Structure 1
Amino acid sequence: MASLDERTLDQQIEQLIEQAPRDDVTGMLIALMAPLLKQIAGQLQYFEYFVLQTPDRGWVVTTLGHRATPELEKTVVYAFPDLQDAQAVAGTHTEVDLVPLNFPVISIIFQLIALKQVESILFFERAGDRQRAVEVRRVDLEAQMQQIMRQQLQQPPPNLA
């Protein structure tokens, strides 16, 4: 896959808005967050990543322990750059059949907001290398979203003369 371009990310934003619930809020929220989602996606290398799913379509959440301080834990979702890496990790979970599915990068980042039990998504950027990843933390995403919302609330409506 090539480096990310703005047009592809815009198409992913439009697709996310089209698939959003018709509640007058979600689509508006996505449109408001579009620059932030594109900024984060722009730090990554791929348009799509593979995420492991359980048979009931839930994303596989992994709990990681800190090497020096084992009581410190973090819950993450892995996003793999290719199918082979995702299948290799799926094969290590013998207790349940996991299915690797590819998702647009914008959708994965947006889903992080809804996954309250997940602290980060780890995007692996090199096939075969599961030691280094780009981490997108939910707490950072939420803080940036709140800043955008505050800025929107401070701006007067455009139809005021």
Structure 2
Amino acid sequence: MNLQEQANRLIADAPQDGQTPQAIRTIAPILVAQAQMFPQLIYYVLQTPNQQWQVVTLEHRRHPGQTKSVIYAYGSEAMALSHGGGGLGACPIPIIDLLFQLLAMEPVDSLLILEDGATENSSEVSRAQLQQKIIQALTLPPNLA
């Protein structure tokens, strides 16, 4: 399923309350543009036995005490499982869904996407920056967005 198909499925699966599908339709191009920065259409997220995504708290190397919460998304199931501890599973998630879910995950600061398994070589998607882009898209008139 390509990025546009993922976005269309997200819109189709939205609650049919008259507002949500239109809001998702408005933000879909932003999600697609962000997703185009990554080479894969599906990533793997570590899940606990009760199907919660594993959230990791990272501490800044040079500023002890400064932390952020992240979710790692891995380029393959094997890579995810090699980084996970016992009892964790790897769940495949389309990239558009990952980005959309990130918007709602208030305690999570970022999504870190790993293509080759090295955590030092991850690509970061900041929830705050993605939310700011979405807010602008929802508040500007369509002809100015």
Give the TM-score, by structure 2 length.
0.92
Specify the alignment match of 2:132 in structure 1.
143
Q: Tell me the secondary structure at the aligned position of residue 22 of structure 1.
A: coil
Specify the alignment match of 2:112 in structure 1.
122
Specify the alignment match of 1:67 in structure 2.
61
* 2:49–2:89 Cα contact (<8 Å) kept: yes
C-alpha deviation, 1:154, in angstroms: 8.3
Q: How does 1:14-93 map to 2 (within 5 A)?
A: 14-90=8-84, 93=85
C-alpha deviation, 1:65, in angstroms: 0.3
* 2:113–2:122 Cα contact (<8 Å) kept: yes
Cα distance in 1 for residues equivalent to 2:121 and 2:101: 22
Q: Tell me the secondary structure at the aligned position of residue 70 of structure 2.
A: strand
Q: Which runs of 5+ in 2 are unaligned?
A: none
Cα distance in 2 for residues equivalent to 1:17 and 1:118: 24
Q: Tell me the secondary structure at the aligned position of residue 2 of structure 2.
A: helix
Specify the alignment match of 1:108 in structure 2.
98
- Describe the shift of the 1:26–1:55 C-alpha distance in structure 2 as closer, same or farther (beyond 3 A): farther
Structure 2 residue corresponding to 1:133, chosen from 97, 122, 131: 122
Q: Deviations over 1:136-157 (max 9, x none)?
A: 00110111111111213787xx
Identity of aligned residues (%): 33
Q: Which runs of 5+ in 1 are unaligned?
A: 1-6, 156-161
Query: What count of residue pairs does the alignment treat as equivalent?
Result: 144
Give the TM-score, by structure 1 length.
0.83
* 2:23–2:138 Cα contact (<8 Å) kept: no
Q: Deviations over 1:51-77 (max 9, x none)?
A: 011122111100000001111001000
* 2:75–2:115 Cα contact (<8 Å) kept: yes
Q: Deviations over 1:96-131 (max 9, x none)?
A: x111010100000000011001000001122x3232
Structure number with greater Rg is: 1
C-alpha deviation, 1:79, in angstroms: 0.2
Q: Tell me the secondary structure at the aligned position of residue 44 of structure 1.
A: coil
